[in-house]
């Protein structure tokens, strides 16, 4: 996968720690990985972790850039071979499906031209909520792909469906997507 570029968006859920492994495994496969984080994601894991794993700066705000002319929500998406949102919370799925772009990650999602891979992570009741499923269906109708969440022990101390897919499964799907792009 040398020479391939991945844009990884990390949102605010307990599964954000798994996104670090996703980033690391992609780098190990030769991909360049740029990471964007929501403010909520930074409550669970720090940008320093991703900077150390990717060797690149981490993007945390649509307003922060060294070059005022740089529209990072456009420049980051232009070079991406795949855009991964992991974890994809009910919040980010809903905001994107509604066309809202009020932070860096949502504006990236609204301006991306590459394939998109969502790795949802949330409580079982949230995952099964018809509104969440409708929002996911709307994004899938646009060609976005989903790595289904697994079943198991959740942060809410219950067992059910909603835990983010394992990092290797997310990486494998991303690699498949990139290989399909000629």
Residues annotated as catalytic (active site), given as ranges:
156
What's the rounded Cα separation, in Å, for the pair 85 and 117?
6
Whether residue 106 contacts residue 77, with contact meaning beta carbons closer than 8 Å, is answered with: no
Burial class (CB in 10 A: 0-12, 13-18, 19+), 27: middle
Burial class (CB in 10 A: 0-12, 13-18, 19+), 161: middle
30 torsion bin: left (phi>0), alpha (psi -120 to 50), beta (else):
left
Cβ burial 80-117 (10 Å sphere, 16+ → b, else e): bbbbbbbbbbbbbbbbbbeeebebbbbbbbebbebbbb
């Amino acid at each position: 996968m040398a020479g391939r570029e991945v844009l990884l968006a990390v949102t605010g859920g307990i599964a954000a720690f798994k996104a670090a492994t996703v980033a690391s495994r992609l780098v190990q496969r030769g991909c360049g990985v740029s990471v964007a984080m929501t403010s909520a994601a930074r409550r669970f894991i720090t940008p320093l972790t991703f900077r150390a794993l990717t060797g690149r700066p981490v993007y945390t705000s649509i307003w922060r850039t060294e070059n005022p002319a740089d529209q990072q929500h456009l420049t980051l998406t232009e070079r991406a071979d795949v855009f991964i949102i992991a974890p994809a919370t009910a919040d980010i799925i809903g905001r994107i499906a509604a066309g809202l772009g009020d932070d860096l990650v949502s504006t990236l999602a609204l301006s991306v031209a590459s394939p998109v891979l969502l790795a949802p992570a949330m409580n079982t009741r949230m995952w099964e909520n018809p509104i969440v499923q409708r929002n996911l269906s709307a994004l899938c109708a646009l060609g976005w792909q989903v790595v289904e969440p697994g079943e198991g022990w959740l942060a809410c101390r219950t067992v059910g469906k909603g835990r983010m897919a394992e990092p290797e499964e997310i990486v494998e799907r991303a690699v498949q997507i990139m290989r399909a792009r000629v």
